[in-house]
Structure 1
Amino acid sequence: MKNLKIWAAGLALLAWSGRASAQNETDALLYSQLGFGGTARIQGLAGAQTALGADASTMVGNPAGLGLYRKSEFTFTPGFNFNDTESFLGNTATPDSRNNFNISQIGAVFTDRKADDVVSDWRGGSFGIGFTRLNSLHANTSYTGQVADKNSLLQSFDDNLRDFNITQAQLDAEYGTNGNNITSLEGLAYATFLIDVDSTGNLYVPARQGILTQGESINSSGAQNQWDFSYGASYKDKLFIGGSLGLTTVSYKQTRTYTETAGNDEPYFSSLTLTDYFKTSGAGINFRVGLIYKPIDALRLGATIQTPTFYGLEDNYTTAMQANYKPGVFSTNSIYAQTLDGNFEYNLTTPFRANGGIAYFIGKYGFISADVEYLDYSDARFSISDDNPYGLDPGTGYFSQQNRIISSTYGGAMNYRIGAEARFDVFRVRAGYAHYGDAFNSNLDRARKYFTGGIGLKEKRYFLDAAYVAGKWNSYYSPYKLNDNSQPIVATENRNDSFVITAGFNF
């Protein structure tokens, strides 16, 4: 990766621009691109469950699987998540990591099945209530390297002055009294003299001498979780149908600390530190229907469709800047400014999802299960709610630019999952592989690959399962955008490992 050729198009740009915080295409992808979750049995199979059934994870996978239950069940799945990154800016590699304990799944299935001597086409059904961790948002990423002044964050300020025709009067109004009304990055730069005024009253960014050392630390935490209320029924023990209502929650926090430090050649500027904090919270709703058909005892075919998830989200954010200067430039060597605390409420609609699956059972010795999933990430959309508190008209297209960027940046993707289970009396051994397609329309490969394994013990009244999931993928990031696309690009190798254990009881 050190010598990887990078294209500027299609980057994940968590860029500071205009407002100090904004909803962008990266946020849309973050909440649309789900990870691994569910019981250890399903995670050990790489999530290949669409045609499988009779597992609590089917509530979030294919609720028709509840129709295959013959006994009621309770499951509990704690887990550990280990996230490791290695980021490259130029040839400089910087490792980082973040670990956490979590609850991957909790579920209860209540089954009402007719006795074998009761004549009825409808053989019974099950109602399930389940909690699933859809997506772990815990990660730490750091990088450092060197850039020229023309490629620095300061150059992005200069670009914005021209692109948005920013005037001194605008920045003076934003500065207010002692910097108490700042809302933009340009306002912060103006308050800390990184943007100055020449003798004719024009704004400009003073040039720096020599090479700048650039670095950033991004610390993230949080999760997407979902409560499912599901029902599945059996018709002649051949056709199984089901539906599920999903109530999703989002909790996400991120702190970014960005620095630029001048070398000995620079006579005035010493360094800057830009700290950005935001918190996103909210809830969403989706619906899912599915079926499983068993033409013969050994073969099962499954399919599901899931509506988009309709989220109502709220962001709280603030940004601060500190500029340090060489002795004698100003009366103080360090100047600090901070934006007003920000708050914004909005809606996000994530893409529709469709799944198909097949499972083949080899008698009492085990089975093989495979899934394919399609979704189009370009369909994600931001919108303003009708009752927004900001006086914005939902029909004015407030998010039109962001939604156009989503449409052009992302595309459709196919996800593939395959897993197998071997049975040895009461013992189970599992393995699987999943390939999650790249969401971006670009020449860079961001596909996610997961390798899984697991073991289990199945007794009459209880069962225990354990699974290990190893995921890896590449990501690309720029902290800001320059008009000539010469912004620094950080390439990151991501590895996410998780270990989960499920305890289950039949009743």
Structure 2
Amino acid sequence: MNQYKFLIAGLVFLSWTGEVSAQTEVDALRYSRTDFGGSARIQGMAGAQTALGADISTLSGNPAGLGLYRRSEISFSPGISLSGTESKLNNNSSATDQRNIINIPSLGIVFTKRKADTDESDWRSGAFGIGLTRLNNFQNRFRYGGSVNQTESLVQSLGETAIANQRTEADLDAEYDNGIETLEGLAYSTYLIGVNKIPTEPNNPNSPIREEIYVESQGNLTQNETVTSKGAQNQWDFSYGASYRDKLYLGASVGLTTVRYNQARVYQEVDADPTTDFQNLTLSDEFTTTGSGVNLKVGVIVRPVDAVRIGVSVQTPTFYTLRDQYTTSMATTFGGSAPGNYDKSLTPGDFEYTLTTPLRANGGVAFFAGKNGFISADVEYVNYGGARLGNNDGADTFSGTNDIIKDTYQSALNFRVGGEYRYNIFRLRAGYALYGDPYKSSAYDRDKRYLTAGVGIKQENTFFDIAVVNFRYNSVYAPYSLLDNLQPVVSTKNTTNSVLFTVGFNF
């Protein structure tokens, strides 16, 4: 199980305790590890666009590409995605699930002003564009189920947490009376854990009393959970690019990013042994993150000869202001000698904080075979360990979490390669992308792989493109932690198949 020590995303909910923030290294990676987006043309080539230009996708990719526009353009790209998961609990029983979503991966408009060919000025053209690009699609759902013994249960974890935090009967009672703000307080209020008072000298009635946390006895357990997430991370780009002698292209952009992420989990433990008092528990939690961010980007494309283009772009860290709102509740059922149903909730949480995601640097090259098509390749560098969480008031609440981010994540390279074949008005495209593992622990494959294809029609004033994107990656999850590190571990194969269309007009 040691290979999972950096992967237990389920530990997030253990820190949702009142005013203590719920933000962890998992949140930092979620908003730092973005996908390639853009039009159907660019996605059909796996996003390999740093050296290309003259596409609405350059607004978020390399704004220098605006300098290659010769006419103004407007485009719109709707799409549909089917996300599927296959999850295994402790590498045993598996469960599948899927979700569908209609979305808008890209839209935008570019205004171009180009000088006449008879004009001998060095600066040949300039273009200003406004565009929307989807950076992340959070639509996903996975579920799992299986058997565990009592020493591997959630109840055991809650008892260990109470012991580790040195909880006493007095402060657990006070929390029950004044508003429940911890998971061990929630477990105490629903009779999953309790406190025994034991004389330090059993044969001396006047000896001091010590308190000892105990957990409710359980029998043969089955557990199951469904985790559903939804939302998106989008970016509006305001970009300008210019052409110098049609050999050097320069550009810059301001990106305004929006985030909305919602995750809901329902976890259950059921006791199949009718001789125990404990029958079942249901732990439900939900949190929503909303916010916005800003970044700057500069880029350059060089065309030393007509057949070759070389591009570079650098994006500053994105500075986010985010807000988390979350709720957690527990319901328990007991039978046997003490039957009863209990249902309690934590005090709802509301927390604002900041996140700085890492700098991104892209380099690319494209080779053109006259009017027959081209091949384009990109490499992107991102240091995921450079993400940082912070407080709006400047307090140093996240120093420990930021140390975990630095220790858990590493820099990674993302590779993209794609091509386009042209025949008359028709276009045929394909591409492949490999996004590197952001984790320092290398015992589990967490690369992202994309296989893409597309077709298109390009006419004098209109164009229409279709792209298909197959996206695969693996994830690991644990619903809670145990001191012996033997908590249940869920491994999931995630697959998303997307189809998107782009309709565009030149004017």
Smaller-chain TM-score bracket: over 0.9
> 4+ residue stretches of structure 1 with deviation over 4 A?
none
Residue 441 of structure 1 aligns with which residue? Answer: 440
Question: Contact 1:168/1:203 (CA < 8 Å) preserved in 2?
Answer: no
Q: % of aligned pairs identical?
A: 51
Partner of 1:61, secondary structure, is coil
Deviations 1:150-196 (A, max 9, x none): 1111121122122221222221121116xxx1111111101001111
1:36 Cα deviation (Å)?
A: 3.2
Question: Contact 1:293/1:302 (CA < 8 Å) preserved in 2?
Answer: yes
Q: How does 1:93-104 map to 2 (within 5 A)?
A: 93-104=94-105
205 and 83 in structure 1: CA distance in 2 versus 1, 3 angstrom threshold: farther
Residue 66 of structure 1 aligns with which residue? Answer: 66
Deviations 1:394-433 (A, max 9, x none): 24x2111111111111111110000010001000000000
Q: How does 1:311-390 map to 2 (within 5 A)?
A: 311-330=320-339, 333-386=340-393
Partner of 2:43, secondary structure, is helix
54 and 283 in structure 1: CA distance in 2 versus 1, 3 angstrom threshold: same
TM-score (norm 2): 0.95
Letter in 1 for 2:300: L
Question: Contact 1:140/1:220 (CA < 8 Å) preserved in 2?
Answer: yes
- Consecutive unaligned residues in structure 1, runs of 5 or more: 387-393
CA distance in 2, matches of 1:37, 1:68: 20
Residue 183 of structure 2 aligns with which residue? Answer: 185
CA distance in 1, matches of 2:352, 2:374: 47
Q: 2:4 aligns with which of 1, 8, 18?
A: 8
The question of 1:140 aligning with 2:131 is answered no
Question: Contact 1:73/1:109 (CA < 8 Å) preserved in 2?
Answer: yes
Letter in 1 for 2:16: R
Residue 122 of structure 2 aligns with which residue? Answer: 121
Question: Contact 2:163/2:213 (CA < 8 Å) preserved in 1?
Answer: no
Partner of 2:34, secondary structure, is coil
CA distance in 2, matches of 1:169, 1:324: 25
Partner of 2:215, secondary structure, is coil
CA distance in 1, matches of 2:407, 2:484: 19
The question of 1:202 aligning with 2:211 is answered yes
Question: Contact 1:14/1:26 (CA < 8 Å) preserved in 2?
Answer: no
The CA RMSD over aligned residues, in Å, is 1.3
CA distance in 2, matches of 1:243, 1:203: 63
1:119 Cα deviation (Å)?
A: 1.2
Q: How does 1:245-256 map to 2 (within 5 A)?
A: 245-256=254-265
Is 346-355 or 32-41 further displaced after alignment? Answer: 32-41
Residue 488 of structure 2 aligns with which residue? Answer: 488
TM-score (norm 1): 0.95
Residue 293 of structure 1 aligns with which residue? Answer: 302
CA distance in 1, matches of 2:364, 2:483: 46
402 and 436 in structure 1: CA distance in 2 versus 1, 3 angstrom threshold: same
Deviations 1:335-387 (A, max 9, x none): 0001111100000111110000000000111000000001011111100012x
Partner of 2:402, secondary structure, is helix
CA distance in 2, matches of 1:285, 1:12: 30
Question: Contact 1:40/1:500 (CA < 8 Å) preserved in 2?
Answer: yes
1:8 Cα deviation (Å)?
A: 2.5
The question of 1:45 aligning with 2:45 is answered yes
Question: Contact 1:427/1:456 (CA < 8 Å) preserved in 2?
Answer: yes
- Consecutive unaligned residues in structure 2, runs of 5 or more: 199-209
Residue 220 of structure 1 aligns with which residue? Answer: 229
Partner of 1:17, secondary structure, is helix
CA distance in 1, matches of 2:376, 2:240: 22
Question: Contact 2:39/2:56 (CA < 8 Å) preserved in 1?
Answer: yes
Residue 410 of structure 1 aligns with which residue? Answer: 409
Deviations 1:92-113 (A, max 9, x none): 1010111100111111000001
Letter in 1 for 2:155: L
CA distance in 2, matches of 1:470, 1:440: 23
CA distance in 1, matches of 2:171, 2:319: 37
The question of 1:157 aligning with 2:161 is answered no
Residue 391 of structure 1 aligns with which residue? Answer: none
Residue 111 of structure 2 aligns with which residue? Answer: 110
Question: Contact 1:195/1:203 (CA < 8 Å) preserved in 2?
Answer: no
Is 38-47 or 254-263 further displaced after alignment? Answer: 254-263
Count of equivalent residues:
490
68 and 93 in structure 1: CA distance in 2 versus 1, 3 angstrom threshold: same
